[in-house]
Structure 1
Amino acid sequence: MAAATAAAAPPADSDWKKSLALPPKDARYKTEDVTATKGNSFEDYFLKRELLMGIYEKGFENPSPIQEESIPIALTGRDILARAKNGTGKTAAFCIPVLEKVDTSKNEVQALLLVPTRELALQTSQVAKELGKHMAVEVMVSTGGTSLRDDIVRLGATVHVIVATPGRILDLAQKGVAKLDKCAVCVMDEADKLLSPEFQPVVEQLIGFLSQNRQICLYSATFPVTVKQFKDKFLRKPYIINLMEELTLKGVSQYYAFVEERQKVHCLNTLFAKLSINQSIIFCNSVNRVVVARWMGGDTARMPPAPHIAPPNPHPHIHQAVNVVINFDFPKNSETYLHRVGRSGRFGHLGIAINLITYEDRFNLYKIEQELGTEIKPIPPVIEKGLYCA
């Protein structure tokens, strides 16, 4: 695989990924370019025009899978228990229905978004404010470590949505400053952390201050026993969303080849000449790129029969018989990467994923590794067949 690895050689500093300084975090970065698996659009949810304006101005084009699953159910008022990782559009998945349901003619707190940290509270409120910028929805952040007096003053004015950590908002509710009796929606983001021993008693007390006709939506990367116990006690026939249940990177050896754009087709041909491929999928980031990749490939006679070159985000079940996945274009977010490379834990087949990385992809590579808690290694001169062949 000398030709591939020659093109794939990373810069002289072998730890180039670790030395990267990430650019400032863009709030829309996580969901930009996520292609919906069902092909829905935001117009399908009959949202207010002002909310749609905020959604599109923020750069969202189509709903991501967690948004597709969550938004229409949340709009019906049903309780939700959703498993979703960071980087999948989760924040917008609950902010959009919350904003849609707010009645700005009423001077009352109508939604409470609970998060475990001040940093996440600030990030969440920023997303809510940007999405609702044309709606006159008043969003307030309330967390520990800040002035209680400032919060009391702020609550004296109009507040429709509060983004808070549990301890501070419970204190304000117990003092009668934060009036939550008309608050009909409570969202708990990172619910596994909110229901840890540190927070759970506080959260349960808070539930008692909410409207009796309340809707509770839990979003969590994991479902520990505490989440199930809370669900059984407080949620009413919740709708379960678990997009991550069958997708795992376990058993997948992941590599990157550092190439220039013009080297991609040559690298691809070399990979097909050297690897023992049963069935493969080559992913591009757009339909146009698929056409270009096929055209530039020229003579494909050296390739195994019928390699599948796919546009973004096909249904993940297609991976069941695939032992090699190649990202001709590297995805922009972790959710897309997981759907391309992840495989069903039920089948447990081994496989390899090879990512063709350009200089412009380096930040996304580092970010996806961090969000998925995985490592994508430089491609070696020889890949052992035992890693991907039965």
Structure 2
Amino acid sequence: MAQPAQALQATAAHNEDWKSKLKLPAKDPRIQTEDVTATKGNEFEDYLLKRELLAGIYEKGFEKPSPIQEESIPIALTGRDILARAKNGTGKTAAFSIPVLEKIDASREEIQALILVPTRELALQTSQVCKELGKHMGVEIMVTTGGTSLRDDIVRLGSPVHMVVATPGRILDLSSKGVANLSNCRVLVMDEADKLLSPEFQPVIEDLIRQLPKDRQILLYSATFPVGVKQFKDKFLKKPYIINLMEQLTLKGLTQYYAFVEEKQKVHCLNTLFSKLSINQSIIFCNSVNRVELLAKKVTELGYSCFYIHAKMMQSHRNRVFHDFRNGHCRNLVCSDLFTRGIDIQAVNVVINFDFPKSSETYLHRVGRSGRFGHLGLAVNLITYEDRHSLYRIEQELSTEIQPIPAAIDRQLYCA
């Protein structure tokens, strides 16, 4: 119900006064593109959020809602199901975390919200964002993924938990054991929904939904929506509000090039890129686990700092690599497609496809690791003769242009 104008003005004035007393991070001086600046001019105060949640929002450094946040937050607060399509790196995590946190009643010691993601790294990252946004609210947030101690999770669920961020298999395991009670969980969020609704995950998702109350709310977010998502929408979502901010699929701040090379020239070409580019941090993608490890060894032999990460590593090792790379302990990361889903490291300004992907969906998620949240980024693709058809097809499917790499790349295209 709308408040009278005087009450809204008083609320805004109170929040502005209170906001000025917070310790806020310094503004990011980097250029931002229309992906995050083309807004309607809303303020977070306009959504009448709890004061404690607003404190977390401002302390996280958010000043105004991005387009996906403007579209998503007020609708999600009404309890309506949402099917949202928006680019990687435009603020999707906060678009669902903020309304979910607002709905949680910390006085009720039960699981009230479940956020599902397809990978362990994304679960850790999403839970961290939720904890930072909700740090003043007394909301207990738990992250649970496969590859970690089930006993520790069981012990943790012996204490109050209001929100769970999880990979599907682990939370289904906990709920089927009677440890995680989802009978009062009225909000389900699916991030990277296209991956969650692949044949690998969909039966697990449907099992979980059956354990939720009938008056649940389902929020789906992704950059790509294949046929499986439509079938799921028709079966489980009730008159969903559709958000599509994907007229252009690739980020506006991203410049894309290709270098036509022979396979045996790739390492030499990579060495040349390292020497000529102004890399803050880079992610280098390979198409197989073996090639990740071999390339990481080559990069180290060339004298550059390098980590590597892939799905066959022990989870504790993966966690350490992700944490250290995110904190800037290393400039370059070689990885498999494990790292294409939602990983948000804003210091990454260069993505290199050492091996060119076969699908436009994989390409979109890979290059979306750079140029995040409206900043500038560069994607360089090493293309062999065998890749030429994939390059053309991906350009057509994404309605984007990948240009031949020039002799010198202007720093202003990818560095603030």
Cα 1:175/1:71, change in 2 over 3 Å? same
Give how far 1:221 is off: 1.2
2:44 paired residue among 37, 42, 50: 42
Cα 1:246/1:155, change in 2 over 3 Å? same
Which residue type is aligned with residue 180 of structure 1? L
Alignment check: 8 A CA contact 1:87 1:333 kept:
no
How many Å separate the matches in 2 of 1:377 and 1:61? 38
Give how far 1:46 is off: 0.4
Alignment check: 8 A CA contact 2:73 2:95 kept:
yes
Alignment check: 8 A CA contact 1:36 1:63 kept:
no
How many Å separate the matches in 2 of 1:153 and 1:333? 36
Cα 1:165/1:239, change in 2 over 3 Å? same
Alignment of 1:199-278 (within 5 A): 199-245=201-247
**Bigger Rg over Cα:** 1
Alignment check: 8 A CA contact 1:112 1:185 kept:
yes
The answer for unaligned runs of 5 or more in structure 1 is 1-25, 260-331, 335-362, 382-390
How many Å separate the matches in 2 of 1:191 and 1:222? 8
Report the equivalent of 1:190: 192
How many Å separate the matches in 1 of 2:101 and 2:38? 21
How many Å separate the matches in 2 of 1:368 and 1:39? 35
Alignment of 1:1-390 (within 5 A): 34-245=36-247, 364-366=376-378
For 1:299-336, what per-residue CA distance to the aligned partner results, in whole angstroms no more than 9, with x for missing partners?
A: xxxxxxxxxxxxxxxxxxxxxxxxxxxxxxxxx899xx
Give the paired residue count: 250
Give how far 1:223 is off: 1.2
Which residue type is aligned with residue 149 of structure 2? S
How many Å separate the matches in 1 of 2:132 and 2:248? 33
Report the equivalent of 1:6: none
For 1:336-381, what per-residue CA distance to the aligned partner results, in whole angstroms no more than 9, with x for missing partners?
A: xxxxxxxxxxxxxxxxxxxxxxxxxxx9423799xx9975766579
Alignment check: 8 A CA contact 2:256 2:379 kept:
no
Alignment check: 8 A CA contact 2:255 2:379 kept:
no
How many Å separate the matches in 1 of 2:401 and 2:347? 14
SS of the equivalent of 2:224 reads coil
Give how far 1:84 is off: 1.5
How many Å separate the matches in 1 of 2:38 and 2:49? 18
How many Å separate the matches in 2 of 1:249 and 1:97? 25
Alignment check: 8 A CA contact 1:192 1:226 kept:
yes
How many Å separate the matches in 2 of 1:50 and 1:244? 32
SS of the equivalent of 1:113 reads strand
Cα 1:53/1:375, change in 2 over 3 Å? farther
Alignment check: 8 A CA contact 1:113 1:163 kept:
yes
How many Å separate the matches in 1 of 2:87 and 2:251? 14
Cα 1:59/1:201, change in 2 over 3 Å? same
Alignment check: 8 A CA contact 2:100 2:113 kept:
yes
The 4+ residue runs of structure 1 with deviation greater than 3 A are 31-34, 245-250, 252-255, 366-369, 372-381
How many Å separate the matches in 2 of 1:254 and 1:366? 6
Cα 1:153/1:374, change in 2 over 3 Å? farther
Report the equivalent of 2:5: none
Alignment check: 8 A CA contact 1:36 1:62 kept:
no
Give how far 1:85 is off: 2.1
Which of 372-381 and 177-186 deviates more? Answer: 372-381
Which residue type is aligned with residue 80 of structure 2? R
Alignment check: 8 A CA contact 2:255 2:378 kept:
no
How many Å separate the matches in 2 of 1:36 and 1:108? 39
Cα 1:217/1:62, change in 2 over 3 Å? same
Give how far 1:36 is off: 4.8
Cα 1:117/1:32, change in 2 over 3 Å? farther
For 1:62-96, what per-residue CA distance to the aligned partner results, in whole angstroms no more than 9, with x for missing partners?
A: 00000000000000000000012220000000000
Which residue type is aligned with residue 210 of structure 1? L
The answer for unaligned runs of 5 or more in structure 2 is 1-24, 258-275, 278-345, 349-374, 382-397, 409-416
How many Å separate the matches in 2 of 1:76 and 1:221? 23
Alignment check: 8 A CA contact 2:56 2:132 kept:
yes
Give how far 1:245 is off: 3.3
Give how far 1:212 is off: 1.5
Alignment check: 8 A CA contact 1:333 1:368 kept:
no
Report the equivalent of 2:17: none
Identity %: 73
Give how far 1:246 is off: 5.1
SS of the equivalent of 1:366 reads strand
Alignment check: 8 A CA contact 1:32 1:59 kept:
no
Q: Could you tell me the TM-score, scaled by structure 1's length?
A: 0.58
How many Å separate the matches in 1 of 2:119 and 2:405? 35
Cα 1:111/1:365, change in 2 over 3 Å? same
Alignment check: 8 A CA contact 2:53 2:133 kept:
yes
Structural RMSD (CA): 3.4
How many Å separate the matches in 1 of 2:91 and 2:119? 19
The structure in which a higher percent of residues are helix is 2
Give how far 1:220 is off: 1.3
